[in-house]
Each structure stands twice: as structure tokens, then as C-alpha cells.
Chain A
Amino acid sequence: MADIQSPLPGMFYHKPSPDEAAFKAKGDDVAVGDTIGLVEVMKTFIEVKSEIAGTFEAYVAEDSAPVTAGETLAMVSD
């Protein structure tokens, strides 16, 4: 099991836009470089990418919630 952490402080989003599905759901395959969420920092959206491959377990940070740099956003199992 590995954590994906936020690279920056900001607002964390599970979905590419409010009307779309979350980037990942439990059981989805995760490849290195896959986008798992967005962090909005100072009106700029930064894609959060996985640095590991595995299976998506769950989001840890809530959708549309403030996060700090280094905070765990999601978990991926090997």
C-alpha cells in the first residue's frame, strides 16, 4: 500500500469537472503518470499524478476540500 501525497497546498478535487466522474474508483488500475486528482492552487489547476503502479484503493482527502502540501490524497495498493 502506498500513499499519493499533494505536491502543493490548495483545494483538492477528485473530478476533472463537477459534472464528470472521479479520475479513479476503487479497483481501477493505476499506471505511473496517471492523473488521480487536481489541486487548485492560486487559481491554477495542477494535475496530481501517481508515481507508482498498482490498484486504486480510495481517496483519503475529500472532494473539494483544502489540503496541505504533503497531505495524503489517495491510496494505491501494489
Chain B
Amino acid sequence: MPIKRLFIANRGEIAVRVIRAAQELGIETIQAYSEGDADMLAVRMAGTSVCIGPAASKDSYLNVDRVMTAITDSGADAVHPGYGFLSESPDFVRAVEAAGITFIGPTASTIERMGDKVEARKAAEAAGVPVVPGSRGRVDTVDEAAEIARTVGYPVMIKAAAGGGGRGIRVADSETELRKLAPQAQTEAAAAFGDGGLYLERAVRAPRHIEVQILGDGTDAVHCYERECSLQRRRQKVWEEAGASCLDNATREQLCASAVALAKSVNYRGAGTLEYLFDEASNEFFFIEMNTRIQVEHPISEMITGVDLVQEMIRVCGGQALSMTQDQITRNGHAIEVRINAEDPFTQFMPWPGKLSEMKVPKGDGIRFDHFLYDGYQIPPFYDSLLGKLIVHGATRAEAITKLKSALQQIELTGLKTTIPLHLALVDDPAVQNGVFHTQWLEPWLEAGNLKQLETTGGAS
């Protein structure tokens, strides 16, 4: 049944992105908003809009009852949840399904299954997707630990089976080291938890974060290649690329095929992302979790493949088959996205919900700016700090970085403090230019004082 009236249960830039996709598909849009968001761009763009409660997210965007009432009152036949908020809430999706309304995403049971780390790991193993190798259960003797470590592979992490948090974790590089460290871990585990049982897992040092974009229609599934999101601060992605330049083609094909195998095995519907750790030293990838929603960084995959992921997820969830086969999806060039947040990078990234007096958006071939800003807009303080995403596409990674630098120099968001100076410093960094980084790279780089006020005036100059 084709979708005619789409309810957007989200805000900010992703609401704008969804409205644009719906309008291009000829679908009417109904935008939800909180009392703190009455002025937002998505409200101005949507066919109609409806207030769903006070500014606090728990009373509006996160409130299943209020959102459901607004959906049913609006006469919508489908709901797009965006990312965050209720996008991965099985309770919400069950309520939408029970009301006979189409959810733009997988079923509640798929969300529940893939949202549970243990269940997701089981599903991955069943589909032949590599997971971080470890002992299947508790290990009680040092000899047993040494035997398991031989199959798991070094370096190996030794943890207390009964423990939690980071307590008692040791990393052994060899059997000699393991035989020295395992008894210490046993003693410590027994003292801390009253149980000397151990658990072994391969230690992935300085991993890269690589993820695969997939699309499914409930029967078939395809991938739109991978993204690398290793530049992170406090576990938040800062800068993302498509593809991952650290992968050779054979590894890339294996990685992407494994993601499709898992998506097919759970009859996945909609857009989804499988996250992996990549160990550059051993050229191995390990599945860690699946996100059952559209992601913030989806545009870079769109830029290299030409696939409109948001339109495609609306189509397949409306009951159509995938509009493309795997061999029709090709990689072209390299794309980079940087997140422009309302934060002052010179004062520990303090949130800065200012008022935008004037905006100059960079334009040009291969430059895209997804945002929810307009001249005179007061950024509300109640939600996350993402203002927009600057996305560039070039024939090569080096060309994309050059284009990114130029776009960052052109963009002007007068009246705001943003993370643009951070990105201007990153584009000039040799390690970034050479793609030599991992998930533990950015924070020490910041702590070492690599971000200097004088060198970077972009955005505010």
C-alpha cells in the first residue's frame, strides 16, 4: 500500500531531510514538534505540523502516548522516526503496528532482537559474521586459559567472569605473559567478586570503527558499502568518511557481504547499519552491533553510491521491493562528512545555543550541507547540539579533503560558536590527511593542544 501521509516523529536536521525525501516522492508530510521547537525549519517546510508537548524530550519526542495520539489524530498512514528519540523503541513500534500504521523501519521484534547485544551476537554468528573471538564461558584454570588463548589469538584480554566495568582487566601479548597475568586476575576476581572465574576475549588495540550501510525489503538485502567513523570524541562521531581507505578491496567485499548475510538472515526491512571493529594489524573485522535506523552520517554513503537512502527506506517500508540490485550499486570517489555542533571547541566544547544572525552556505559541485538553520533562528537549548553536517565528495580522498577545507572556509554561521574551527584544524593535520587514525586518536590529539585559536578563524571571521 503506497504511503500517502507521512508523520515525522523527530526534529532538527533529520526532520528536514525526511520531509525533503517525502516531498520528492509526492507524499504529504505532518511534522511533530515540541513547544521548544515551534520555530524549527521542518515545521515551516511540512504540509502540516502538530505540537506534541512541552520542550523537555521526555514530555514530547520521547513520550510514546503523546506521539501516538498525535499520529492517530493526524490521519497519517506512516511514521518516520528519524534517529534517536523513539527510533529504536520496540514499545513505540509495537504501538504504531497495533494502530495499523506503517513504521518506516524494521519490525518491533527485529529492533528488540538486534538491540540486545547477546542476541545480536548470536544472530551474527549464525549468519557467519565474525564477532570478537572469546571464551564461550567461564575459564577456571590457567592451562585452560592458555589453550583457549591459542584459538582466540593474541593479544588477549583477561576479565573476571563475574565482574563488570573495567575491573581486573589485563591484556596479555603472549602465552608467557598470560601465565603470569591469569593467576593475578583470578586472585583479584576472587577477592572482588567472590568468584575466581575468568573470561577471555581478543584485545583489539587502537581499533578503527567501520560500519556497513544496508537496505532490506524484508526478503532481499543490499549494501551501500562502508563508512569509517574512527574520529570520535567521548564516543560521539566527529568526522566520517565513505569508504574506509584502510581496507583493501578483498576485505571490503568480505565485510560488506557479511553485513548483507546478517540483514537477510533477520529478514531486515528498511535502512540499517552494522558496526564493526577493524583491527588494522591483523586485517580482521569483528561485528559489534547493529543500528536499526537511518544514521546521522548516511549522506556520505549517498554521495558515493547515488542511492537516496531515505527515499528507499520509505519505499520498501511502504511494501515495495528494493528498487535496485547489488550489481547496480557502485562506489564512486570518496565522501567526507563533518558534524557542525553548537559547541565552543576552545572551552571544552561547551554547548552554545546562540542565535544565528546570518548564514552563508558553501556551494559547489560535490558540496552538500544538511541542516535546519535559517537567518534569525534561535537554537533551542533543550536538545542535542548538532546544527548540521557538511558533506563533500571528490574523485579521491585527497580531493575530498581539499574540497572540505575550502567549504569550511566559506561557510559562515554568524552569531554562533561551532565546531568548525576543530574541523579546520583536522583538515590540516598530517595524520588526518594520511588517514592514519583510530578510535583512540582524537582525544589525545585534543589534550596535546593541537587545536589553537589563532590558526583557525573559519566560520566566525
A residues touching B (Cβ–Cβ < 8 Å)? Answer: 8-11, 40-44, 64, 66
Docked complex Cα distance between A10 and B352 (Å):
11
B350 contacts across to A, CB distance below 8 A: 44
Docked complex Cα distance between A46 and B342 (Å):
16
B384 pairs with A8, CB closer than 8 A: no
Distance in angstroms from B157 CB to nearest chain A CB is: 31
How big is chain B's contact interface, by range? 10 to 19
A42 contacts across to B, CB distance below 8 A: 342-343, 351, 353, 381-385
Total contacts A to B, CB within 8 angstroms?
36
Q: A11-B55, A42-B353 are in contact. Are A66 and B36 (CB under 8 A)?
A: yes
A8 contacts across to B, CB distance below 8 A: 351, 353, 381
Contact of A9 among B381, B383, B384 (CB under 8 A): B381
Q: Does B56 contact A (CB under 8 A)?
A: yes
A41 pairs with B381, CB closer than 8 A: yes
Distance in angstroms from A41 CB to nearest chain B CB is: 5
B351 pairs with A11, CB closer than 8 A: no
**Which residue of chain A lies nearest to B57 when distances are taken between CB atoms in the complex?**
A43
Chain A interface SS verdict (over half)? strand
**7 examples of A-B residue contacts, CB within 8 angstroms:** A11-B56, A42-B351, A42-B353, A42-B381, A42-B382, A66-B55, A66-B382
B55 pairs with A41, CB closer than 8 A: no
Docked complex Cα distance between A70 and B56 (Å):
20
Distance in angstroms from B306 CB to nearest chain A CB is: 34
Chain B interface SS verdict (over half)? loop
Q: What would 11 more interface pairs be, CB under 8 Å, given A8-B381, A41-B381, A66-B36?
A: A9-B353, A10-B382, A11-B55, A11-B382, A40-B382, A42-B342, A42-B353, A42-B382, A42-B384, A42-B385, A43-B385
Interface string of B44-57 (1 = CB under 8 A from A): 00000000000110
B56 pairs with A44, CB closer than 8 A: no
Docked complex Cα distance between A42 and B351 (Å):
6
Docked complex Cα distance between A42 and B383 (Å):
5
**Which residue of chain B lies nearest to A44 when distances are taken between CB atoms in the complex?**
B351
A11 contacts across to B, CB distance below 8 A: 55-56, 381-382
**Which residue of chain A lies nearest to B353 when distances are taken between CB atoms in the complex?**
A9
**Which residue of chain A lies nearest to B348 when distances are taken between CB atoms in the complex?**
A44
Interface residues of B in 1-48 (CB under 8 A from A): 36
B36 contacts across to A, CB distance below 8 A: 66
**Which residue of chain A lies nearest to B56 when distances are taken between CB atoms in the complex?**
A11
**Which residue of chain B lies nearest to A68 when distances are taken between CB atoms in the complex?**
B381
Distance in angstroms from B327 CB to nearest chain A CB is: 43
A41 pairs with B56, CB closer than 8 A: no
B56 pairs with A64, CB closer than 8 A: yes
Distance in angstroms from A33 CB to nearest chain B CB is: 19
Docked complex Cα distance between A56 and B343 (Å):
32
Interface residues of B in 341-397 (CB under 8 A from A): 342-343, 350-351, 353, 381-385
B353 contacts across to A, CB distance below 8 A: 8-10, 41-42
Docked complex Cα distance between A77 and B435 (Å):
58
**Which residue of chain A lies nearest to B386 when distances are taken between CB atoms in the complex?**
A42
**Which residue of chain B lies nearest to A43 when distances are taken between CB atoms in the complex?**
B384
**Which residue of chain B lies nearest to A67 when distances are taken between CB atoms in the complex?**
B381
B383 contacts across to A, CB distance below 8 A: 42-43
Distance in angstroms from B55 CB to nearest chain A CB is: 5
Docked complex Cα distance between A10 and B342 (Å):
14
**Which residue of chain B lies nearest to A66 when distances are taken between CB atoms in the complex?**
B55
Docked complex Cα distance between A45 and B336 (Å):
31
Interface residues of B in 379-429 (CB under 8 A from A): 381-385
Distance in angstroms from B387 CB to nearest chain A CB is: 10
Docked complex Cα distance between A40 and B381 (Å):
8
A43 contacts across to B, CB distance below 8 A: 351, 383-385
Nearest 6 interchain pairs by C-beta: A42-B351, A10-B381, A9-B381, A42-B385, A41-B381, A41-B351
Distance in angstroms from A30 CB to nearest chain B CB is: 25
Docked complex Cα distance between A44 and B381 (Å):
10
A64 contacts across to B, CB distance below 8 A: 56
Docked complex Cα distance between A40 and B55 (Å):
12
Docked complex Cα distance between A8 and B381 (Å):
9
Distance in angstroms from A7 CB to nearest chain B CB is: 10
B351 contacts across to A, CB distance below 8 A: 8, 41-44
Docked complex Cα distance between A18 and B384 (Å):
21
A66 contacts across to B, CB distance below 8 A: 36, 55, 382
Docked complex Cα distance between A41 and B351 (Å):
7
Distance in angstroms from B351 CB to nearest chain A CB is: 4
